[in-house]
């Protein structure tokens, strides 16, 4: 019997972002196991061209149509097929030219290509939490219907996923999502009012893109993860707990109905959950730095301060109420983070903007996909108008 392994063809949607680049590092380190057959980017055409020349994918998509001529010219001497525009992302997601999609497009923009991949029966390694925050019911229902796995890439959800292997028949009591607390752990409102973008972008433990780093500093990231966990693991809101864990060693925990707790631990390195998702169900060897308990005399856990970091409280409200409220909250947050990164609003003003948008956008208890998309558009316009974007 042949021992030759099938090389898994990976479609990296969002290849120029932080997760996409680290995924390509994993693929490059394991050429006998993976190939990068589809690469997509929205704006960063220069890095996309570099990646395409290195990995020789079958297909490249540049989201911004204006960047197409430059990409086309740079790759003219190669057999690579080049497409552009939002519709092309969806069309390529539906093509039978890859075995696994790594969904790493940031924000709401990742929803349609991911849903198209799932609808086409393609397994998805999900690094885009907003896809499930916005329309988790629709995406997970389709995944069940198509009998395809959605393997989480977020370190917290990857941890829970790993803890649940072999536990299919054992009911979950609760999951505990850990949070580093970001750069402002322990700070109060009088400090946060003066925070600038360069302070918020200095995460103590993780190397991430700008959007997720700001979300981490406001604890919105943990709120989005609570909503994502609900859909990924079929949980009730009261089964999802958040604890601040500044060392970022315990990535998350699962408590079962007998009281036993399983945790997944490791150094904060996104390559590990990325590699796990790409190689699942196998674990593959790597040379990443190893966790050494002798260097960590204590691991600490505490309740999050949701009176100061009100984004987490707003996310908990959206989780409880459901419907299109998480979608509205996510849209307002994307506008708020964009405005903060452009120095248009202050750190605490992001929360005020999200709260006002959640209050003023019409609520729908059981939205269709079209209503999710409409709610997203309405919330974005409302939030942008408030701050004159």
What are the tens digits of pLDDT across the range 189-227?
A: 999 999 999 989 987 776 778 898 999 999 999 999 999
pLDDT tens by residue, 242-292: 999 999 999 999 999 999 999 999 999 999 999 999 999 999 999 999 999
pLDDT tens by residue, 55-103: 999 999 999 999 999 999 999 999 999 999 999 999 999 999 999 999 9
pLDDT tens by residue, 315-359: 999 999 999 999 999 999 999 999 999 999 999 999 999 999 999
Asked if 114 contacts 128 with a C-beta cutoff of 8 angstroms, the reply is yes
Tell me the percentage of the chain whose pLDDT exceeds 70: 98
CATH architecture group of domain 8-152: 3-Layer(aba) Sandwich (3.40)
Find where tokens 């090389």 sit.
7
Residue 22, token pair as written in the block? 């680290």
User: How far is 262 from 358, CA to CA, in rounded Å?
Assistant: 36
Which pLDDT score is estimated for 2? 39
On the question of pLDDT at 3 being above 60, the answer is: no
Q: How confident is the model at residue 5 (pLDDT cuts 50, 70, 90)?
A: low
Mean pLDDT of 126-147: 95
Burial letters 120-141, b for 16+ CB under 10 A, else e: eebbbbbbbbbbbbbbbbbbbe
Which pLDDT score is estimated for 6? 87
Which pLDDT score is estimated for 304? 97
On the question of pLDDT at 160 being above 70, the answer is: yes
- Locate the domains of the chain by residue range: 8-152, 157-321
Which pLDDT score is estimated for 230? 98
Q: Where are the alpha helices (DSSP H) in 75-171?
A: 86-93, 111-119, 130-146, 155-164
User: What torsion do the CA atoms of 193, 197, 198, 203 make, to the nearest 10 degrees?
Assistant: 90
Q: What is the DSSP letter of 193?
A: T
Mean pLDDT of 18-33: 97
pTM for this one?
Answer: 0.94
Upstream peptide bond of 311 is cis (omega within 30 degrees of 0):
no
pLDDT tens by residue, 365-381: 999 999 999 999 999 99
Angle (nearest 5°) at CA 321 between 315 and 326: 45
Burial letters 159-198, b for 16+ CB under 10 A, else e: bbbbbbeeeeeeebebbbbbbbbbbbbeeeeeebeebebe
Residue 11, token pair as written in the block? 């479609």
Mean pLDDT of the chain: 95
Q: How confident is the model at residue 1 (pLDDT cuts 50, 70, 90)?
A: very low
Which pLDDT score is estimated for 255? 98
Lowest-pLDDT range, 32-41, 172-181, 191-200? 191-200
Q: What is the DSSP letter of 61?
A: E
User: How far is 284 from 157, CA to CA, in rounded Å?
Assistant: 19
């Amino acid at each position: 019997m042949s021992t030759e392994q099938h090389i898994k063809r990976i479609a990296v949607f969002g290849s120029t972002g932080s997760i996409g680049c680290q995924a390509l590092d994993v693929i490059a380190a394991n050429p006998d196991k993976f190939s990068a057959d589809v690469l997509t980017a929205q704006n960063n055409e220069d890095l996309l061209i570099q990646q395409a020349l290195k990995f020789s994918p079958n297909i490249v998509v540049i989201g911004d149509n204006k960047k197409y001529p430059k990409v086309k010219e740079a790759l003219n001497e190669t057999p690579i097929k080049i497409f552009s525009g939002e519709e092309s992302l969806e069309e390529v997601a539906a093509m039978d030219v890859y075995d696994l999609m790594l969904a790493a497009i940031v924000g709401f923009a990742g929803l349609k290509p991911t849903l198209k991949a799932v609808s086409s029966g393609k397994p998805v390694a999900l690094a885009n939490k907003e896809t499930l925050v916005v329309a988790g019911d629709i995406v997970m229902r389709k995944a069940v219907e198509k009998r395809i796995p959605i393997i989480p890439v977020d370190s917290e959800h990857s941890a829970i996923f790993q803890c649940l292997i072999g536990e299919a028949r054992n009911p979950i009591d609760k999951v505990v999502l850990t949070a580093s607390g970001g750069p402002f752990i322990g700070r109060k409102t009088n400090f946060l009012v003066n925070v600038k973008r360069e302070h918020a972008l200095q995460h103590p433990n993780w190397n991430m893109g700008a959007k997720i780093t700001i979300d981490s500093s406001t604890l919105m990231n943990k709120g989005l993860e609570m909503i994502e966990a609900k859909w990924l693991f079929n949980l009730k809101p009261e089964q999802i707990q958040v604890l601040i864990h500044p060392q970022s060693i315990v990535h998350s925990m699962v408590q079962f109905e007998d009281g036993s707790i399983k945790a997944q631990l490791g150094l904060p390195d996104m390559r590990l959950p990325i590699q796990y998702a790409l190689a699942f169900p196998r674990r593959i060897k790597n040379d990443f730095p190893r966790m050494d308990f002798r260097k960590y005399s204590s691991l600490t856990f505490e309740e999050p301060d949701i009176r100061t970091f009100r984004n987490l409280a707003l996310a908990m409200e959206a989780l409880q109420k459901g419907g299109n409220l998480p979608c509205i909250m996510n849209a307002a947050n994307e506008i708020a983070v964009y405005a903060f990164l452009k120095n248009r609003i202050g750190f605490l003003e992001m929360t005020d903007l999200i709260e006002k948008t959640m209050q003023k956008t019409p609520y729908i208890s059981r939205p269709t996909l079209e209503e999710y998309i409409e709610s997203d558009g309405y919330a974005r316009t409302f939030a942008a108008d408030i701050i004159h974007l």
